[in-house]
């Protein structure tokens, strides 16, 4: 059995007061009203608390990560801004000298490699000019390292404790090796072996700092074998 | 500026080519001179040669004679020719009796310079002073080739040079720094300390102990125990006859074939070990760990990186934090603890115990018992030879083919069980329960969700709150067993075997429809007990919803 | 602290302010999401997603409008995202009555399953109205539909639930 008024009510075309007045004289609609009351009473029993005591900590973690990402983006854009400004900015130097420096590093690297390492090396000492070039390469490494340190060291403070400790001890170890090589070179400046190990340590320091910054650097591909 | 910067690389290449050719020529050395030395002394097999050098490349090989023969070349360069000449004149090679053998050393003015404090202002050294300032530009290097009897001990101390030892058997104690050390085809006992340079041991007949911070280590074909300590550089090993202990810091460790036990520690890199005939122990925070073919027990601890284990003959223990764990083919008991990532375990011939908060857990084919504690992610178990115990929360549990008892606790999801050889117990708040083919008794407790039991063979106890209950296709109703179905607001549907010998009491609230005689009781305490059933099956149903009891004809 | 002050703190990235909002809306959110999605885990994910979206877009909120409507809109949209990703065969009918063996001719559904079987927008309207006590104007703001549509939708939902309940009562008497 159905009732046209019920159909109107179900379509929302009749308000409740009007429907109730109609239902007083219509058994079909009266029954419908009773069922509606029963439905609503059952539905209200669904208003039970839901247990999720851990949920806030998950949400908080996600929001903290989001905040950290935002801060990193802000820092990166600040770095980029700095690089864009000024004639002698890092960007100016980067665009002009680094390609040439990269080429120099490659060729000097090849030169040092062939100059220093061969199956039957003729000398364990570097010739004057080769020594000058190796010293120049070391200075270039030092400049690159200085630039990377300025960016990387503040970023290290944002790392988790484990990573901070890892990178810090690694850099300290490399610095100790650089220091030892320099001490040895103070009394033996043209020794090819010590020079080779100093360059390897400088190379490793540059790689490690680049790793902290997450930079891709052609020049910093691992070259651990000496 | 642009044009210039483009040309720069080419300019540098040209400059370099000139330099390259000139670097090969001695003529650009201002006052580089060298001096050759040769010394020999008799000795006997089994004696010791002590070598104390600095900035020297050492090559040590064997000879058929009972003698130590040394050939050395010392190079010196400086602007001042006189200094170079004087330096070389003052340089001497000593090979003299010492302790239980001979001592080889190179003595030069360099020794004085290396002492702490400023060198004296006497003799050659005054040349290096400008006023009070010590200015030193002299450079030095040495190359020594030493031949010793094949059976001989070696004590070597060097720095800033490479050491290569070949074919010698004896006790080796080698200390070097910033250089490469290689022992080829040697035997005996090796203790090696190096740093910042690679260590290569391709063949060694005996135990090896290596300490090489910041230097890579490669050890192959070693007949004894091996111990390696290094950092920030990889370790590679292959075919170790005895036990292997590797303690690395942030170094990748890879290798295979260890005859004894294997213990590896590293961090923040990868550990990959195969074929260990003894026990395996790995501690690798933030290391990806792969272990395969471990004959005895394996114990692995790591975090934040996956663990893959295949074929372990004994017990497997894995403790990971936020690590995905995959383990297959384990001969003994398995204990896995991880979190926040998947745990997948299969083919275990012992029992399995898994603790994985917020991990999804998948376990397949375990011959023994299985215990799982997890949360918020699904648990799937298939094929358990013993009992199954799952304690989870807010997670779906699906289990099949459990030979003995099964106990499941979870919430806010669903439980599906197919095939339990023993009793089944399920406790699931707001959890729907579906269980089929249960050979023993069934006991469930849940709320707000349905309970469906099919093909049971023992007593049935279902306590629900606002849970719809359906029990049917009962296989077996043993004499004296009972069926108790209690819920609120929701219907209960019970289908009994046509010839069931049952005494049914109900505490109704809603409509009752039954093909069997039913006793109405006013409270639970009035339910009919077994005595009244006279050996038959007692059935008690309580709900404010409808009750429908049918026969399965 | 009043809601406007809390929102200002949220705009400054103060996580304690988000915590206050969470404490205020935790249960309505979880109940609504659970009724929309049928699974506790997904409901929690939807609530988490809501707070992340709130954090990212808090600056879009204009004071003077109802914050509860704004935040519930985010929640309902998060629930819709979950529902959209589900494969068509997955139903919210938690009992999966059609899946299990049922005596033929009888179909019994609890009121929960009846709500779960409602179409998505109808279910959202009905849950906000009947369980969370939202007014029709508030529901219209949340779902960004006309008040008249909300009114009609609630009536249709009631009619469907009434039909289901009536059918189950009829089966009981037979």
The average pLDDT across A154-167 equals 79
Burial of C63 (0-12, 13-18, 19+ CB in 10 A): exposed
> What are chain B's partners, defined as 3 or more CB pairs within 8 angstroms?
A, C
- Tell me the two tokens of residue B201: 């041991």
| Residue A188 contacts B, CB cutoff 8 Å | yes
Among A126-140, B93-107, B276-290, C100-114, name the one with the lowest average pLDDT: C100-114
Residue C84: exposure state from Cβ atoms within 10 A (0-12, 13-18, ≥19): exposed
Of all residues in chain B, the one with the smallest CA distance to A123 is: B75
The C-alpha angle with vertex A199 and arms to A193 and A201, in degrees rounded to 5, equals 105
Q: Band the pLDDT of A5: cuts 50, 70, 90.
A: confident
The Cα of B495 is separated from the nearest Cα of chain C by a number of Å equal to: 9
Residues 19-38 of A with CB under 8 A from C: 32, 35-36, 38
Contacts 24+ apart (CB under 8 A), B363-369: B366/B334, B368/B333, B369/B404
- Interface check for C100 against chain B (CB to CB < 8 A): the answer is yes
Residue B326 parent element (H or E): strand B325-330
B275 burial (CB, 10 Å; 0-12 / 13-18 / 19+) is: middle
Asked if B145 has any chain A CB less than 8 Å from its own CB, the reply is: no
Residues in chain A, how many? 226
Q: Which chain C residue's Cα is nearest to B410? A: C40
Assess A64–C contact: CB distance below 8 Å, yes or no: yes
Please tell me which of the candidates B23, B136, B178 has its beta carbon nearest to residue A130. B23
Query: Whole-angstrom Cα distance, residue B366 to residue A101?
Result: 62
- For residue C100, the chain B residue with the least C-alpha distance is B452
Chain A residues near residue B20 by CB distance under 8 angstroms: 111, 114-115
Query: What's residue B227's pLDDT?
Result: 97
User: Is the separation of the CB atoms in B186 and B205 below 8 Å?
Assistant: yes
C156 and A67 in contact by Cβ < 8 A?
no
Secondary structure of residue B61 in the 3-state scheme: strand
Decide: helix, strand or coil at residue C148. helix
Give B381's contacts (C-beta < 8 A, 6+ positions apart).
B361, B362, B363, B364, B370, B372, B388, B390, B397, B398, B399, B400, B402
The tens digit of pLDDT for each residue in A9-40 reads 887 778 888 888 999 999 989 988 888 888 88
Q: Does B493 touch chain C (CB under 8 A)?
A: yes
- One digit per residue, pLDDT tens: chain B, 553 residues? 444 456 566 555 555 555 554 444 434 456 889 999 999 999 999 999 999 999 999 999 999 999 999 999 999 998 888 888 888 998 999 999 999 999 999 998 888 777 777 777 777 777 777 777 777 678 999 999 999 999 999 999 999 999 999 999 999 999 999 999 999 999 999 999 999 999 999 999 999 999 999 999 999 999 999 999 999 999 999 999 999 999 999 999 999 999 999 999 999 899 999 999 999 999 999 999 999 999 999 999 999 899 999 999 999 999 998 899 999 999 999 999 998 899 999 999 999 999 998 899 999 999 999 999 998 889 999 999 999 999 998 899 999 999 999 999 998 889 999 999 999 999 998 899 999 999 999 999 998 899 999 999 999 999 999 899 999 999 988 888 999 999 988 999 999 998 888 889 998 788 899 999 898 888 777 777 666 667 789 999 999 899 999 998 7
Whether C111 sits inside 8 A of A43 (CB atoms) is yes
Annotate B411-451 with DSSP letters as a single string.
ESSEEEEEEESS-EEEEEET-EEEEEEESS-EEEEEESS-E
Q: What is the mean pLDDT of residues C94-119?
A: 52
Task: State whether residue C31 sits within 8 Å of chain B by CB.
Answer: no
Q: Which residues pair with B337 in a beta bridge?
A: B319, B355
Asked if the Cβ–Cβ distance from C22 to A12 is below 8 Å, we say no
Which of these, B337, B322, B316, lies nearest to B288 by C-alpha position?
A: B322
DSSP for B360-427? -EEEEEESS-EEEEE-SS-EEEEEESS-EEEE-SS--EEEEEESS-EEEEEESSEEEEEEESS-EEEE
- Report ipTM for this prediction: 0.81
Inter-chain residue contact C100 with B434, CB threshold 8 Å: yes
- Judging contacts by C-beta atoms under 8 Å, the chain A residues touching residue C15 are 60, 63-64, 67
C106 interaction partners in chain B (CB closer than 8 Å): 548
Query: So what's the pLDDT on residue B403?
Result: 97
Q: Say whether C5 sits in a helix, a strand or coil.
A: helix
Whether A127 shows a pLDDT value over 90: the answer reads no
Q: Which of residues 253-272 of B touch A (CB under 8 A)?
A: 267-268
3-class secondary-structure state, position A136: helix
Judge whether B276 and B293 are in contact, CB under 8 Å: yes
Partners of C38 on chain B (C-beta within 8 Å) are none
Instruction: Give the contacts of B240 (CB within 8 A, at least 6 positions apart).
Output: B219, B222, B225, B226, B255, B257, B258, B259, B260
Give which of A9, A44, A46 to mutate to test C binding, by max C Cβ within 10 Å. A46
B29 contact residues in A (CB cutoff 8 A): 123, 125, 127-128
Q: Residues 407..466 of B with a Cβ closer than 8 Å to A: which?
A: 411-412
How many Å is the maximal CA-CA distance in chain B?
126
> How far B323 CA lies from chain C's nearest CA (Å)?
21
C167 vs A206, residue with greater confidence = A206
Find the CB nearest A129 among B23, B77, B268: B23
Among A202, A207, A201, A205, smallest CA distance to A222 is for: A207
Say yes or no to pLDDT of A116 above 50: no
pLDDT on residue B273: 98
Nearest by CB to B196, from A115, A127, A177: name it: A177
User: CB-based contact (8 Å) between C108 and chain A?
Assistant: no
Query: In C, which residues are within 8 Å of A43 by CB distance?
Result: 111, 115, 130-131, 161
Chain C adjacent subunits, 3+ CB pairs under 8 A: A, B
Which site among C46, C162, C173 would you substitute to test the A interface, given the most A Cβ atoms closer than 10 Å to its Cβ?
Answer: C162
Taking the CA of residue C164 and the nearest CA in chain A, the distance in Å comes to 10
What is the dihedral sign for C-alpha B20, B21, B22, B23? positive
Using a cut of 0.90, tell me whether the model's pTM lies above it: no
CB neighbours of residue A23 within 10 Å:
22
More confident site: A68 or A75: A68
Amino acid B118: pLDDT? 74
pLDDT at A118 over 50: no
Q: How confident is the model at residue B13, as a pLDDT? A: 55
DSSP H helical ranges for chain C: 3-11, 15-37, 40-57, 67-85, 111-116, 120-126, 136-143, 147-173
Touching check for C173 and chain B: CB below 8 Å? yes
Q: Which two tokens stand for residue B175?
A: 């200390």
Per-residue b or e along B509-536, where b marks 16 or more CB atoms closer than 10 Å to that residue's CB: eeebebeeebeebeeeeebbeeeebeeb
CA atoms within 13 A on the CB side of B476: 10
**pLDDT value of position C111:** 80
Q: Are B148 and B60 in contact (CB under 8 A)?
A: yes
CA nearest B110: which of B163, B176, B54?
Answer: B54
Which positions 7-46 of A are in contact with B (Cβ < 8 Å)?
45
Does residue B514 belong to the interface with chain C, where contact is any CB pair within 8 Å?
no
| Residue B130 DSSP SS3 | strand
Chain A within 8 Å of B14 (Cβ-Cβ)? no
- Which positions ≥6 away from C68 have C-beta within 8 Å? C25, C138
Q: Which tens digit of pLDDT belongs to each residue from C121-170?
A: 889 999 999 999 999 999 999 998 888 888 888 888 888 888 877 777 66
Option in B432, B472, B550 nearest C94 (CB): B432
């Amino acid at each position: 059995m159905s009732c046209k008024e019920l159909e109107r009510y179900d379509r929302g075309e009749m308000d409740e007061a009007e429907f109730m007045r109609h239902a007083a004289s219509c058994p079909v609609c009266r029954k419908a009203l009773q069922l509606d009351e029963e439905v609503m009473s059952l539905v209200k029993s669904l208003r039970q608390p839901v247990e999720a005591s851990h949920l806030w900590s998950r949400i908080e973690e996600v929001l903290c990560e989001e905040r950290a990402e935002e801060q990193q983006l802000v820092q990166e854009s600040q770095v980029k801004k700095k690089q864009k400004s000024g004639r002698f900015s890092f960007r100016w130097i980067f665009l002009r000298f680094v390609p040439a420096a990269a080429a120099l590093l490659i060729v000097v690297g090849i030169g040092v490699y062939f100059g220093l390492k061969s199956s039957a090396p003729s000398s364990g000492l570097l010739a004057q000019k080769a020594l000058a070039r190796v010293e120049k390469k070391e200075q270039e490494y030092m400049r690159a390292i200085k630039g990377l340190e300025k960016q990387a060291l503040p970023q290290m403070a944002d790392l988790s404790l484990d990573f901070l400790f890892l990178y810090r001890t690694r850099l300290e170890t490399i610095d100790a090796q650089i220091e030892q090589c320099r001490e040895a070179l103070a009394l033996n400046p043209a020794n090819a072996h010590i020079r080779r190990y100093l360059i390897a340590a400088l190379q490793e320091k540059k790689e490690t700092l680049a790793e902290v910054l997450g930079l891709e650097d052609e020049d910093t591909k691992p070259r651990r074998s000496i | 500026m642009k044009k210039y910067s483009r040309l720069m690389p080419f300019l540098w290449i040209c400059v370099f080519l000139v330099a390259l050719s000139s670097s090969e020529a001695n003529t650009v050395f201002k006052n580089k001179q060298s001096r050759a030395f040769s010394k020999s002394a008799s000795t006997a097999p089994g004696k010791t040669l002590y070598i104390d050098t600095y900035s020297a490349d050492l090559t040590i090989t064997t000879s058929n004679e009972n003698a130590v023969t040394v050939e050395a070349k010392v190079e010196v360069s400086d602007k001042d020719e006189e200094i170079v000449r004087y330096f070389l004149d003052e340089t001497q090679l000593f090979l003299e009796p010492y302790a239980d053998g001979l001592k080889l050393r190179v003595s030069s003015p360099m020794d004085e310079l290396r002492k702490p404090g400023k060198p004296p202002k006497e003799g050659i050294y005054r040349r290096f002073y400008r006023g009070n300032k010590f200015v030193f530009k002299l450079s030095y290097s040495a190359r020594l080739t030493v031949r010793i009897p094949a059976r001989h001990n070696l004590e070597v101390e060097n720095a800033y040079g490479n050491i290569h030892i070949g074919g010698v058997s004896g006790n080796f104690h080698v200390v070097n720094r910033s250089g490469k050390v290689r022992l080829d085809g040697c035997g005996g006992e090796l203790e090696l300390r190096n740093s910042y340079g690679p260590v290569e041991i391709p063949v060694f007949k005996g135990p090896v102990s290596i300490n090489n911070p910041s230097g890579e280590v490669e050890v192959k074909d070693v007949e004894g125990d091996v111990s390696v300590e290094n950092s920030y550089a990889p370790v590679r090993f292959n075919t170790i006859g005895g036990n292997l202990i590797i303690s690395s810091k942030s170094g990748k460790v890879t290798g295979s074939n260890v005859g004894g036990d294997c213990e590896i520690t590293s961090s923040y890199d990868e550990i990959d070990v195969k074929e260990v005939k003894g026990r395996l122990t790995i501690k690798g925070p933030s290391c990806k760990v792969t272990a395969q073919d471990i004959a005895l027990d394996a114990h692995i601890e790591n975090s934040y990186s996956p663990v893959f284990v295949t074929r372990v003959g004994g017990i497997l223990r894995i403790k990971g934090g936020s690590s995905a764990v995959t383990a297959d083919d384990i001969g003994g008991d398995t204990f896995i603890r991880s979190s926040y990532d998947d745990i997948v375990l299969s083919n275990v011939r012992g029992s399995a115990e898994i603790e994985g908060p917020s991990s999804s857990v998948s376990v397949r084919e375990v011959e023994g018992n299985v215990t799982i504690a997890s949360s918020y992610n699904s648990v799937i178990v298939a094929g358990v030879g013993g009992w199954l115990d799952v304690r989870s929360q807010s997670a779906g549990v699906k289990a099949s083919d459990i030979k003995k008892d099964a106990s499941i606790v979870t919430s806010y999801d669903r439980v599906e069980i197919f095939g339990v050889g023993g009793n089944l117990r399920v406790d699931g708040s707001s959890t729907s329960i579906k269980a089929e083919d249960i050979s023993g008794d069934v006991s469930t407790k849940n709320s707000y969700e349905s309970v469906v039991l099919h093909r049971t063979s023992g007593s049935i106890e279902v306590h629900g709150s606002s849970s719809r209950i359906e029990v049917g296709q009962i296989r077996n109703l043993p004499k004296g067993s009972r069926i108790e179905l209690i819920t609120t607001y929701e219907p209960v549907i019970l289908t009994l075997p046509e010839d069931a010998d049952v005494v049914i009491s109900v505490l109704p609230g809603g409509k009752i429809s039954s093909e069997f005689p039913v006793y109405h009781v006013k409270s639970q305490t009035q339910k009919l007990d077994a005595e009244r059933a006279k050996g038959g099956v007692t059935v008690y149903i309580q709900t404010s919803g409808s009750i429908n009891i049918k026969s399965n004809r | 602290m009043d809601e406007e002050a809390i929102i200002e703190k949220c705009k400054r990235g103060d996580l304690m302010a988000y915590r206050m909002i969470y404490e205020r809306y935790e249960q309505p959110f979880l109940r609504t999401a659970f009724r929309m999605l049928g699974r506790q885990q997904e409901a929690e994910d939807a609530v988490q997603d809501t707070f992340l979206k709130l954090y990212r877009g808090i600056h879009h909120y204009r004071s003077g409008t109802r914050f509860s409507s704004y935040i519930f809109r985010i929640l309902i949209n998060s629930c819709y995202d979950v529902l959209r990703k589900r494969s068509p065969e997955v139903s919210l009918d938690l009992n999966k009555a059609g899946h299990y063996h049922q005596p033929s001719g009888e179909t019994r559904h609890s009121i929960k399953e009846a709500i779960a079987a409602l179409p998505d927008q109808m279910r959202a309207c009905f849950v906000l109205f009947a369980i969370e006590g939202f007014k029709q104007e508030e529901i219209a703001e949340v779902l960004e539909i006309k008040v008249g549509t909300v009114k009609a939708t609630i009536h249709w939902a009631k009619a469907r639930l009434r039909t289901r309940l009536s059918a189950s009562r009829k089966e009981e008497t037979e």
